[in-house]
Amino acid sequence: MKRNQFYKKIYITICMFIMIFLSTFMFYSVWLEFVIENNQTGHLTGLGNLGMAVIIYTLFVYHYR
């Protein structure tokens, strides 16, 4: 019985990370498209700014799972 619970927790954890990855990827694609269309200063398309937005979004999704 405990072995099944162990595998169930592993399965749930893997599924959770896959769902977080997929939602983060969808956010990134929409955010990048928005930034490219509405960027007036030219500074929002940098790797640091896009990375920060993705990291903050990922932390929010993980925290409120």
pLDDT tens readout for residues 4-62? 999 999 999 999 999 999 999 999 999 999 998 998 887 778 888 889 999 999 999 98
Helices H / strands E in the chain, number of each? 2, 0
Give the contacts of 61 (CB within 8 A, at least 6 positions apart).
Answer: 20, 23, 24
Predicted TM-score of the model (pTM): 0.79
Q: Which residue type does 2 have?
A: K
Give the three-state DSSP class for 11.
Answer: helix
